[in-house]
Amino acid sequence: MQMFPIGYDEPLFRPPSEGNSLIIQVTLGCSWNKCAFCEMYTSKQFKARKEADVFADIEEFAPYASQIRKVFLADGDPLVLSTQRLLRMLEKLRATFPNLRRVSTYASPSNLSRKTEQELKLLKEAGLSLVYVGIESGDSEVLKAIDKGETYQTTIGGLNKSKQAGIDSSVMIINGVGGAVLTEQHAINSAKVLNLTQPKFASTLVLTAYKGLAHYKNRYKGEFTKLDTVALFKELHLFMTNLELENTIFRSDHASNSLVLKGVLGKDKQTFLSQIETAINDPEAMHIRKNRTGVRF
């Protein structure tokens, strides 16, 4: 049996679309690690991995260099590292993998805002071409309640700054994250942020309380009432109605979504709206899919 060349510090996460990418851990955990809904890195203390260790991991894949076209940098927010350090890693990747086409990573809007435009351009020139950004909500009140450390303005600022540098973004919005009290403003302001930033890719996930609803409510700063399935669809409908996107590849196909939507916005907006209306009128049909995936709130 052939052994995998490196060991990872678990748990390890990557976006679904990075399934064929080589994953290199350049940091461990998340430097923020406070978002109320997020348990991804709560078991880890944030740290930057030693450069020598990262380089050693990259070297381990040198024998397979010709096959490596996409690299994803983990864990939660590698762009918190200094630009010089990131540039050395990107240079090492390019030197090792001659067929490398894309380097991507997770990034929060603040990670992007803290870099200068010039720094972001240098990162893009060195090969960083896509960032996965958890907007979660465009509404400042929701963002405060979930302790995201962002606002409507900082989110727009970070996304537009990286776009200016030529770096594409894939953004995530969480359906139901503000509960019943903030559902309308969450839907409308999330759509506004997307309209003002026009990301290349966008997706919605449904809030999943991995450690139970009581735990989420404890971490949530405000009154939280969970949305039921129909209310989640209604929130999605309001969000979709307010979207004015020109050419964004839209996916709502994460395991947490009981309604799968895939297409391009604005072209497919009316189709998506009709599909959501069907789901509102017959939520039981959607439950069947959700039960098949085994995903629970």
Ligand X SMILES: C[S@@+](CC[C@H](N)C(=O)[O-])C[C@H]1O[C@@H](n2cnc3c(N)ncnc32)[C@H](O)[C@@H]1O
Q: DSSP string covering 33-92, please?
A: ---TT--TTTTS--EEPPHHHHHHHHHHTGGGGGG--EEEEESS-GGGS-HHHHHHHHHH
**Using the rule CB under 6 A, is 252 a contact of ligand SF4?**
no
Q: Which stretch binds ligand X (CB under 6 A): 50-58, 86-94, 133-141, 231-239?
A: 133-141
Min dist. Cβ of residue 14 to ligand SF4 (A)? 12
**Using the rule CB under 6 A, is 224 a contact of ligand SF4?**
no
Using CA atoms, how far apart are residues 103 and 163, in angstroms rounded to an integer?
Answer: 15
Q: Where are the alpha helices (DSSP H) in the chain?
A: 51-60, 83-96, 109-113, 117-125, 140-145, 152-164, 183-197, 213-219, 229-242, 269-281, 283-293
Min dist. Cβ of residue 34 to ligand SF4 (A)? 6
Out of 22, 24, 26, 30, name the contact with ligand SF4 by CB under 6 A: 30
Out of 22, 24, 28, 38, name the contact with ligand SF4 by CB under 6 A: 38
Nearer to ligand X, 15 or 127 (CB): 15
In the list ligand X, ligand SF4, none, the entry touching 205 (Cβ below 5 to 8 angstroms by class) is ligand X
Closest CA to 91 of 100, 81, 79: 100
Subset of 105-134 contacting ligand SF4 (CB under 6 A): 108, 134
Closest CA to 148 of 168, 131, 133: 133
Subset of 61-80 contacting ligand SF4 (CB under 6 A): 76-77
Subset of 166-225 contacting ligand X (CB under 6 A): 172, 174, 205, 207-208, 210
**Using the rule CB under 6 A, is 174 a contact of ligand SF4?**
no
Give me the 135-154 binding string for ligand X, x by CB under 6 A, dash otherwise. -x------------------
Give the number of other CB atoms < 10 A from CB of residue 212: 11
| Burial classification of residue 145, based on how many CB atoms lie within 10 Å of its CB (0-12 exposed, 13-18 middle, 19 or more buried) | buried
Min dist. Cβ of residue 155 to ligand X (A)? 9
**Using the rule CB under 6 A, is 35 a contact of ligand SF4?**
yes
In the list ligand X, ligand SF4, none, the entry touching 174 (Cβ below 5 to 8 angstroms by class) is ligand X
At how many degrees (to 10) do helices 269-281 and 283-293 cross?
A: 90
**Amino acid, res. 89:** M
Residues lying near ligand X in the complex (CB under 6 A) = 30, 37-38, 40, 76-77, 106, 108, 132-134, 136, 172, 174, 205, 207-208, 210, 256
